[in-house]
Amino acid sequence: MRIPRVLITAAGVIFAGQIFAQSDPNAPIHLTPRQQDVYAIYSMLMPGAVLANLGASQNQRWAIADTTVNAADINPALAPEAALKPPGDHPRRFHDAVVDYEQRRNERQTVLHAFHLDRPYTLLTPSDVQEFRTARTSVAASDADQQKYSGYPGINYFSDVYFNPPRSAALVYMVAWCTNLCGQGEWVYLEKQNSQWVRRSGQSSIVSGAQPF
């Protein structure tokens, strides 16, 4: 996947001789109401079952790609309406969220330091992602690179979140990747109930080995 390199304005930390953009709860971030919904959904879905179920020594920190994937990145290609069935009680909400996806499926967004998670997380630039992938999959990877990414179980990728007009329903694609043979990608449909986002579907659509590149 070719993603343009972007600059995130946030605090940095030095880890194993490298500078990463690291989560900072004290950094002021002013989110729009839509962004508040986006990051509530992202935080709720982190880190995905395939990464959460790895050993405790491998999930001390979460790694998240700093740019959203778009329709061209999803591999195997899978549209939300092909992966999911709308709930019988609110089919219009689902279809309206699909319309938003169809209109914006080629866009990518910068991922912000706005997650609320149970442990530190790092936003990885495209070059960081490639280095991480090499460290996990190549026999020629250096000890320094393997050490640099130890403690991260894998990488989480998200699409943008696609809403119906009143933002009472949402669709998002997510991938949790740890190696070439360890990954799950899925579309998830959610609805807002009593001001909280609730997952309505998505588990049955998991594609093992999915990679957004």
The residue behind tokens 């995130």 is 8
Tens digit of each residue's pLDDT (9 = 90 or more) over 5-53: 332 233 333 223 333 444 454 566 789 999 999 999 999 999 887 787 7
Q: Which residue has the higher pLDDT, 58 or 208?
A: 58
Tens digit of each residue's pLDDT (9 = 90 or more) over 42-97: 999 998 877 877 665 556 789 999 999 999 999 888 899 999 999 999 899 999 99
Average pLDDT, the chain: 82
Per-domain residue ranges for the chain?
A: 18-23+30-208
Has residue 205 got a pLDDT over 50? no
Query: What are phi and psi for residue 115, nearest 5 degrees?
Result: -80, 150
pLDDT for res 24: 54
Are the beta carbons of 13 and 121 closer than 8 angstroms?
no
Nearest Cα residue to 162 out of 66, 113, 94: 94
Which pTM does this prediction carry?
0.81
